[in-house]
Structure 1
Amino acid sequence: MNELHTFLATVWFVLLGIIIALYVLLEGCDLGVSILSLLAYKPALRHQLREYSGRTGQANELWLVLAGGVLFGAFPTAYTLILHTLYIPLILLLGGLLMRRAGFASGSLLAAVAQGLILGELMGSMSGGLTPFTLVVSLGVVSGYALLGASSLLNHPHGSIKTLAKRWAMAFAVGALATLVTVLLWIPAIHPYLSTRWQHPATVVLLGGLLLAVLLVSIALLRSLRGHGRYSPLKWSLTLFLLTFTGLAASLYPDIIPGHLGLEQAAASSKTLIFMSFGVGLLLPLLLAYNGFQYLLFNKSSEQKN
């Protein structure tokens, strides 16, 4: 029974990670473009950028709602601890999303900052307050979203926007990579036990491979921003996000909240996890279809305008 429970908890941990990754990858460009509109120096340019973003936000945010539902059902202990400790950044996240739905670009920045604070707390001390580590992680999240937004704007038909986007993409790529390196070096100091865990042969191979992949993708991203390379900067940026997220999850496993909760300790009963599989199994295809429909409408609308 314990083996079954461990297996089910791991499956739901992976599924939760996939759902969050889908939200980040699908929503990242929209959030990034909206954040970049705050840097635009001309009102007309700001208007164009805001028109370009937010077309698929409603569909993308459903993944965030689903992630909250999965956390509540599959890992209720972790859900309670997060809600109790991180209520301020969670309120900021909700406020940012509501501001964004009302058309305020600053809402996207607030949502990104809040997500960074939440991520920083989950990886850090879970103190519930601002720390240098959470601020660095938050800066990295904002830079990462801005990088995705700038990379997507490189395909924009207007030359002035593409020129600005290239400048922004290079600046935020450097910022995102710098904060990534800083966080990787900082985590073992916060959780010393992770250093021992990372020395396990299987973990060394996995994390070593991921780090090598991150390094190669980072080089390819910077080369593509200089006009070299085989693929577009957006593809490399999305790949970098995915590799970073995978590496983070793999390095923290089998903890769901490092230093506070292990996966089995946080998971619901095996019967609950099995029952949830049917509901989420039916919901996932519907969400994917809805997302696909939204992006199809967005592409058709963009083609008509161009």
Structure 2
Amino acid sequence: MDRMNAKLAAVVSMDDKYGGTQDLQEHAAALADETVRLQNTHTASSRIRSEMYGVAAAFTASAMWAAVDGRRLTEAEPFLNKAVTLAGLADDRAVLYRVWGHAAIMYRHLGRPADAVAAGEAARATSITRSDPLYASLAMARLATLHADSGDSRGALRAIGLAQASIDRADQTKHRPPWMGFYDQAELDSLAAFAYLRLGRWEDAEHRAHRCLAGLRPGLERNHALTYANLALAQLGQGDVEPAVAAARTVPHGLARHGRVAVLLNDFTARLTALAPRSSETAAWLEHRRAAA
């Protein structure tokens, strides 16, 4: 158990740094299979067996998340049923919460908004949200982005408020699984920025992006890249071309080519060329983008 938990922590750390690469997806899936194989080739107490199923579910959820983050959505969906089954065998409410949270984001990218909201609500309904406000906060923050997708401004703003109220009550020092380590006030600000962008509230999105960057911990390189991309979109929405391009150029080339970050920067490129097709900043950005390809 100690060995597999250490490997799980390493997988989470790799995701924080590099995002959902194909290699990480395959590595996490292989570790899930290894954990299940250990179950069937060794004798253990019922408590250890439950913990092993929980770790296998967490590895499977990591594989699913890597596929979602990398926008390999057809590869992500098959992991969902396996992760739910393993979490059920473990009777692990924390892992089940994580699986439904990732499923909500997966369904959003698949263009299935009703399924996305249903999965988000399933995460919020998991019993762990009633005993730990940090989980409740993350569930509400993600629901805010889903409500914003559908143009439900009232629902999105209410969810952001509830997420803030919950995180204010949470004990940040409490022991939690390594995959919850990313969520803090900075990540809430990041998710709020996503929601405000989708509602076209550019100033609010910029404010939250700046707050996020001020509070983001070192090591969360992928999240830094996402937030700079969101900051660029928020500034561009206000017509501030020069600072927007400067923010976008802050994203490292490696992350700029990857998954969700690449999608945001492609959106930024399209909006920039529509807004200022002949500006020197646009020309410089397009050259920068070609160099990153």
Same fold by TM-score greater than 0.5:
no
Q: Relative contact order (alpha carbons < 8 A, sep ≥ 6): 1 or 2 greater?
A: 1
Q: TM-score range with shorter-chain normalisation?
A: 0.3 to 0.5
